[in-house]
Structure 1
Amino acid sequence: MERTDYSSITAQAVALTEGETNLVANLSNLSAILDMALADINWVGFYLFEESSEQLVLGPFQGKPACVRIEPGKGVCGTAYATQSIQRIADVHQFEGHIACDAASNSEIVLPLWVNGECIGVLDIDSPNYNRFTEDDEQGLQHFITRVGETLSNI
């Protein structure tokens, strides 16, 4: 598999989000950018923390319909949010408590999304391939989500 050019993807994402104050519009474009740029994925999108329900709620995404609400600490997304750490899972079927929204997903990476010093949710990317996400992907996506969080600070 070709190496993904995360620098280019990040530059495109920053250019699209800089100056735009609508969170839904920005996250919609970000999920579309990643969906176009990443090979061998079947779902990419955001779950946002909702204060009133204390749950992660489905946000903008690309892919099949997904689970709408996830408890912090549950599944890969809830674990990433609760621990505020990246979860890179080679085989989701081996992850205790995995929430299977799409039976075709076999690996997953989830990154916390920080805006203005607050974790507002997570970026979730699924693949039908086992062990799809590498250390390079993790580092590239971490840079992507950090830069995006900075540009979203005007929201």
Structure 2
Amino acid sequence: MPFNKLKSQVSQIISNNKKSTNERLLEICQLLELNINHYNWVGFYFKNGNKNELKLGPYVGAPTDHTIIPFGKGICGQVAVSNENFVVPDVSAQDNYIACSITVKAEIVIPIFVNGENIGQIDIDSNTPDPFTKDDEEFLEFVCKEVASIL
């Protein structure tokens, strides 16, 4: 499904005030995982209070033991510190990668900013080597901006 069509669906989900924030975030995860073939695990991590760690939020995909990630550890932890997108075409080439599943070949993590502060991120794992393009990155930046509007 083209990203433009998904953008309107993401906006519709975000604008549905009848559902809780977590319900809307889960619905976004489901939409992306279902409609983008190379998105095999889709989830949100958020800053855990005043701690320098991330806590797993809504997600779809294989269960993970990584419900808490210290800042600086793994791809997600690095994004929490750098405040920048991180696209990993080959996770096996990353020294600081936290393996969630042996099937994961690539990962993309995009931070979510509220009032200029990095408060979380969307994390996508793919079982396809090097699948993420600039279009994925721009689309996920859009998703993060939409999500920020309800946080």
Tell me the TM-score normalized by structure 1: 0.88
The answer as to 2:90 corresponding to 1:91 is yes
Q: Deviations over 1:119-145 (max 9, x none)?
A: 221100001111011112112221222
TM-score normalised by structure 2 residue count: 0.90
Offset of residue 19 of structure 1: 4.9
For residue 23 of structure 1, what is the aligned residue in structure 2?
Answer: 21
Q: Which residue does the alignment assign to 2:76?
A: 77
Q: List alignment gaps of at least 5 residues for structure 2.
A: none
Distance 1:84 1:26 in 2: 24
Q: Over aligned residue pairs, what C-alpha RMSD do you find?
A: 1.6
Moved runs in structure 1, 4+ residues, more than 3 A?
Answer: none
Paired residue type of 1:27: L
Unaligned runs of 5+ in 1: none
C-alpha distance in 1 between matches for 2:120 and 2:136 = 19
1:56 and 1:71 in contact (8 A); partners too: yes
2:120 — aligned with what? 121
Letter in 2 for 1:143: F
The C-alpha deviation readout for 1:54-99, integer Å capped at 9, x for no partner, is 3101110010111111111111111112111100000011112100
Post-superposition offset of 1:52:
4.3
Instruction: State, as a whole percentage, how many aligned pairs show the same letter.
Output: 32
Distance 1:116 1:32 in 2: 27
Amino acid at match of 1:5: P
Length, aligned pairs only: 149
